[in-house]
């Protein structure tokens, strides 16, 4: 499955490589967000057996970010209150491993990039 505006082929290749590398504290590969709903996802890997299943630091804007799995199909279908779809942050450059983003997000109640 490929959602052209959200993930590139290079993203999918890196997400799969991260998953196959085992338990390593990877840098996020891509940042997705809702421009009208304060939700953010920092994606680090794709399930090798299910390309719709992504592992990420997820922040739905409720003050309780968490690590978990998210469906690529559901993200692509998601619309915020103004009808805007999930977007890829083309300017996001990860500077640290996901655990650092997660620690900071838990302390601040939101993902900070």
Q: What confidence tens digit (pLDDT) does each residue in 67-113 have?
A: 999 999 999 999 999 999 999 999 999 999 999 999 999 999 999 99
CA 89, 59, 79, 38 dihedral sign is negative
Distance CA 61, CA 88 (A): 17
Amino acid 1: pLDDT: 38
CA angle 63, 64, 65 (to 5 degrees): 110
CA 23, 28, 34, 38 dihedral sign is positive
User: Do strands 66-71 and 40-47 pair parallel, antiparallel, or not at all (unpaired)?
Assistant: unpaired
Q: What is the pLDDT of residues 22-66, one digit of tens each?
A: 889 999 999 999 999 999 999 999 999 999 999 999 999 999 999
Distance CA 23, CA 87 (A): 28
């Amino acid at each position: 499955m490929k959602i052209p505006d959200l993930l590139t082929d290079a993203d999918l290749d890196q997400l799969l490589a991260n998953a196959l590398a085992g338990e390593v504290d990877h840098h996020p590969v891509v940042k997705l967000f809702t421009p009208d709903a304060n939700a953010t996802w920092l994606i680090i890997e794709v399930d090798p057996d299910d390309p719709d299943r992504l592992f990420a630091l997820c922040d739905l804007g409720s003050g309780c970010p968490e690590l978990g799995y998210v469906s690529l199909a559901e993200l692509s279908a998601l619309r915020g209150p103004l009808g805007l779809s999930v977007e890829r942050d083309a300017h996001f450059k990860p500077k640290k491993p996901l655990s650092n983003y997660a620690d900071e997000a838990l302390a601040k109640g939101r993902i900070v990039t």
